[in-house]
């Protein structure tokens, strides 16, 4: 058995499986569970309890089985020669078993108390290491030492109590063996053949020696059983941590919902882009509709990020209530609001750190990589390069030169950059990092990873005014260039880069494409609406109004003087207008009204018909709408084709020259340049 155990590496395999499973479980705990976790408790459970369960539990069972095999053969020999030894052989293990059961609760209690005190010592040391700066700054060294001494004293008392219980229990087996041998001498001597009994003197003496050997082996079994009892407490703690609530099933359900919703949205986006292409083919060459090159190359790039009816609570405190918003891909969105009104919570929900409540929807297209950057100062025990790459290879992030350039652009000092291509361990360069360097390192990690959706909390908090502008411009370049330091010729084929952030400065708000107030999450950014009136067809009376001049006016219902009129065109059959205009600012609850007029018509004011379009759930990538034209409240086969989308916004504080898109119009883009410090406002 011992050789079999060593050859198969049974203890190592059991410990490895148990520790790896516990760590995997810990990494999938719910955020609320992990935040309330005792660091000392989970650390000691992994390093101490798993070893005790293996070495004092499972492996002792194998040892007990080996001893029982020896006792089986000894018992058979005794009973073959002396059947009167049956009662002592049965009474011995029964008495020891009853004693173990009687002492079990007390043994487990003192062991658990000792383990708890060990956890507290580890927790105290961990807290002091993590909070050394606080202890040193506020002159708390004496208090820290006193606190540690108190925890050590408590541990000593618990170990003393545990040792007392173990020592008392250890004397039971020797005493019982002595009583068994003494009883056999008194009882068996009267059954020797010399005194008229049936047992020979040789069998009596052999039984006496076998009883001593059996007593020794049963004493060893008793000790092993005591060790197994002491593993019950560690096993209970392992089961406790292994059964903590995780978010795996919730994340699986959320991912499945996103996947299903994404299928529907992809079909809609493809259909919309197909309609746009077919509608654009009807227009004349060089029209304003054809010039709009801000339309995505791939349909999936036009799918919006959406929040629908989002709620979130911390215990009984509600921080988000019915949040609904839509964010087009490729934008930079700032969240503003009062403190403790849910800005950080909303970022964690977008960054998938927290999960939405049941029946709430956070839709981020599943093909997008989402990265949430916290303000934690975290390092891994490895080289500086691995602390930037986080175990990705340089080839996976477009080479070491790109990594070095990004680190330089975020402002990391040259002394740190000199460790990029060395194997210098953490302890030799960690002291070079200042408070702001940790923030720069987090940004460098994000830009190197190059996620399609970047979620960052207060990127401007750690820097002065000039540095803030540099960092904000890097974030803008990341979004506009679709990744920092990547080939510009492949930009068109990369996914849009979306950024969500909260901020503490006005400069950051100026840089954003959209500004949202979190406590109500209303879009506070003025958004114009671009409308292209393509054509009207199947108008009644066209056979009698040939070669007339018709035009269309567009305005927001109940908001006069908010719209525009197309140019009048002559028509013979369908009215091909192909005219674009803008509504300066719109609200999702607005309704657009289109009036088709012809001065040659015999109707009052040349009115030919009216069409309406609701702006609710308007896709930001645009939509081709075919509207029924109503006449006196009746609907007919007459149609008005229009293309509606959010117009390109003026974006301040761009670094570089605004140049027209390839088609000669549309949204502005930024030529990649190294950001320069902006002037203070």
Averaged over 219-242, what is the pLDDT? 88
Least confident range of 164-168, 249-253, 316-320, 379-383:
316-320
Select, from the ranges 6-10, 63-67, 526-530, the one with the highest average predicted confidence (pLDDT).
Answer: 63-67
The architecture (CATH level 2) of 2-242 comes to Up-down Bundle (1.20)
Tokens of 551: 């035009």
Write down how long the chain is. 681
Residue 650 has pLDDT above 60, yes or no: no
Binning pLDDT at 50, 70 and 90, where does residue 5 land?
low
Least confident range of 17-26, 287-296, 477-486, 596-605:
287-296
Tokens of 418: 């000199």
pLDDT in tens, 378-415: 888 889 999 999 988 889 999 999 999 999 999 999 99
| Radius of gyration of the chain from its Cα atoms, rounded to whole angstroms | 39
Q: What does the pLDDT read at residue 438?
A: 92
What is the rounded distance in angstroms from the CA atom of residue 531 to the CA atom of residue 582? 6
What is the rounded distance in angstroms from the CA atom of residue 456 to the CA atom of residue 446? 10
Q: What does the pLDDT read at residue 214?
A: 78
Residue ranges, CATH 3.40.50.300, the chain: 349-357+367-523
- Triad 386, 387, 392: Cα angle to 5°: 45
Q: What does the pLDDT read at residue 267?
A: 85
Would you tell me the crossing angle of helices 86-130 and 141-170 to the nearest 10 degrees? 180
Averaged over 521-533, what is the pLDDT? 72
Q: What does the pLDDT read at residue 477?
A: 94
Residue 256 has pLDDT above 50, yes or no: yes
Q: Which residue did the predictor score with more confidence, 670 or 162?
A: 162
Residue ranges, CATH 1.20.1560.10, the chain: 2-242
Residue 453 has pLDDT above 70, yes or no: yes
Averaged over 142-170, what is the pLDDT? 92
Q: Identify whether the C-beta of residue 340 lies closer than 8 Å to the C-beta of residue 519.
A: no
Q: What does the pLDDT read at residue 661?
A: 33
Instruction: Go through 322-344 and write b for each residue having 16 or more CB atoms within 10 A of its CB, e for each that does not.
Output: ebebbbbbbbbbbbbbeeebbbb
- The model carries a pTM of 0.68
pLDDT in tens, 482-505: 999 999 999 989 999 999 999 877
CB neighbours of 250 closer than 8 A, spacing ≥ 6?
355
**Tell me, what DSSP letter sits at residue 641?**
E
Q: What does the pLDDT read at residue 681?
A: 34
Q: What is the mean pLDDT of the chain?
A: 80
> In the chain, what percentage of residues exceed pLDDT 70?
83
Tokens of 148: 């540690």
Residue 625 has pLDDT above 80, yes or no: yes
Tell me yes or no: is domain 529-646 CATH 2.60.40.150: yes
Residue 98 has pLDDT above 80, yes or no: yes
pLDDT in tens, 11-66: 888 889 999 999 999 999 988 788 788 888 888 999 899 988 988 888 888 788 87
pLDDT in tens, 454-472: 999 988 888 887 788 889 9
Binning pLDDT at 50, 70 and 90, where does residue 655 land?
very low
Least confident range of 75-84, 282-291, 361-370, 586-595:
282-291
Binning pLDDT at 50, 70 and 90, where does residue 670 land?
very low
Residue 318 has pLDDT above 50, yes or no: yes
Q: What does the pLDDT read at residue 651?
A: 35
Q: What does the pLDDT read at residue 653?
A: 31
Q: What does the pLDDT read at residue 277?
A: 56
Tokens 């930009």, residue? 491
What is the rounded distance in angstroms from the CA atom of residue 356 to the CA atom of residue 669? 35
Q: What does the pLDDT read at residue 558?
A: 81
The architecture (CATH level 2) of 349-357+367-523 comes to 3-Layer(aba) Sandwich (3.40)
Residue 330 has pLDDT above 70, yes or no: yes
- Residue 559 host element (H or E): strand 559-565
Q: What does the pLDDT read at residue 633?
A: 47
What is the rounded distance in angstroms from the CA atom of residue 228 to the CA atom of residue 519? 57
Q: What does the pLDDT read at residue 2?
A: 66
Averaged over 137-165, what is the pLDDT? 93
Q: What does the pLDDT read at residue 573?
A: 64
pLDDT in tens, 543-594: 444 556 788 899 888 887 788 888 888 776 677 888 888 888 777 778 889 9
Residue ranges, CATH 2.60.40.150, the chain: 529-646
Torsion of CA 44, 45, 49, 51, to 10 degrees: -80
Query: Phi/psi of residue 101, each to 5°?
Result: -65, -40
């Amino acid at each position: 058995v011992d050789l079999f155990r060593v050859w198969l590496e049974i203890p190592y395999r059991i410990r490895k499986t148990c520790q790896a499973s516990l760590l995997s479980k810990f990494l999938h705990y719910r955020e609320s569970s992990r935040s309330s976790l005792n660091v000392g408790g989970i650390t000691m459970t992994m390093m101490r309890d798993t070893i005790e369960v293996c070495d004092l539990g499972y492996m002792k069972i194998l040892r007990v089985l080996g001893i029982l095999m020896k006792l089986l053969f000894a018992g058979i020999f005794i009973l073959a020669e002396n059947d009167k030894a049956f009662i002592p052989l049965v009474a011995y293990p029964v008495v020891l078993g009853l004693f173990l059961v009687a002492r079990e609760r007390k043994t487990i209690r003192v062991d658990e108390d000792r383990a708890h005190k060990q956890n507290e010592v580890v927790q105290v040391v961990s807290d002091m290491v993590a909070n050394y700066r606080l202890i040193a700054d506020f002159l708390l060294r004496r208090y820290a030492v006193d606190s540690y001494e108190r925890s050590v004293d408590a541990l000593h008392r618990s170990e003393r109590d545990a040792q007392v219980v173990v020592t008392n229990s250890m004397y039971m087996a020797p005493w019982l063996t002595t009583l068994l041998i003494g009883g056999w001498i008194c009882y068996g001597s009267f059954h020797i053949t010399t005194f008229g009994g049936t047992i020979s003197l040789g069998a009596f003496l052999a039984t006496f020696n076998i009883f001593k050997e059996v007593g020794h082996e049963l004493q060893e079994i008793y000790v092993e059983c005591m060790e197994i009892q002491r593993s019950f407490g560690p096993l209970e703690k392992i089961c406790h941590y292994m059964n903590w609530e995780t978010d795996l099933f919730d994340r699986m359900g959320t991912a499945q919902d996103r996947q299903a919703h994404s299928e529907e949205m992809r079909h809609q986006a493809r259909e919309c882009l197909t309609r746009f292409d077919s509608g654009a083919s009807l227009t004349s060459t060089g029209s304003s509709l054809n010039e709009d090159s801000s339309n995505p190359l791939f349909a999936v790039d036009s799918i919006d990020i959406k929040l629908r009816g989002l709620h979130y609570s911390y215990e009984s405190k509600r921080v988000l209530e019915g949040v609904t918003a839509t964010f087009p891909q490729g934008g930079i969105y700032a969240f503003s609001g009062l403190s403790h009104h849910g800005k950080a919570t909303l970022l964690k929900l977008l960054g998938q750190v927290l999960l939405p409540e049941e029946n709430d929807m956070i839709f981020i297209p599943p093909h997008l990589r989402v990265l949430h950057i916290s303000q934690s100062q975290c390092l891994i025990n490895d080289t500086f390069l691995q602390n930037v790459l986080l175990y990705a290879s340089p080839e996976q992030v477009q080479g070491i030169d790109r990594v070095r350039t990004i680190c330089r652009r975020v402002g990391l000092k040259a002394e740190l950059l000199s460790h990029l291509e060395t194997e210098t361990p953490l302890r030799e360069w960690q002291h070079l990092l200042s408070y702001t360097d940790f923030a720069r390192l987090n940004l460098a990690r994000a830009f190197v990873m190059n996620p399609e959706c970047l979620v960052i909390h207060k990127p401007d908090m750690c820097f002065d005014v000039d540095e803030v502008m540099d960092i904000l411009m890097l974030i803008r370049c990341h979004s506009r260039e679709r990744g920092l330091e990547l080939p510009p010729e492949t930009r068109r084929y990369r996914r849009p880069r979306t950024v969500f952030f909260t901020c503490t400065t006005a400069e950051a708000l100026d840089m954003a494409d959209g500004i949202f107030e979190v406590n109500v999450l209303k879009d506070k950014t003025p958004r114009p609406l671009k409308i292209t009136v393509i054509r009207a067809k199947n108008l009644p009376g066209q056979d009698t109004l040939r070669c007339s001049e018709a035009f269309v006016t567009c305005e927001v219902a109940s908001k006069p003087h908010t719209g525009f009129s197309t140019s009048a065109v002559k028509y013979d059959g369908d009215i091909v207008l192909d005219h674009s205009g803008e509504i300066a600012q719109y609200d999702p609850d607005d309704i657009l009204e289109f009036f088709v007029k012809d001065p040659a018509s015999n109707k009052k004011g040349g009115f030919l018909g009216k069409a309406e379009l609701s702006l609710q759930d308007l896709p930001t990538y645009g939509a081709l709408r075919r509207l029924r034209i109503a006449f006196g409240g009746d609907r007919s086969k007459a149609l008005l084709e229009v293309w509606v989308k959010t117009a390109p916004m003026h974006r301040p504080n761009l670094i570089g020259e605004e140049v027209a898109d390839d088609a000669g119009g549309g949204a502005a883009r930024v030529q990649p340049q190294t950001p320069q410090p902006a002037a203070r406002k």
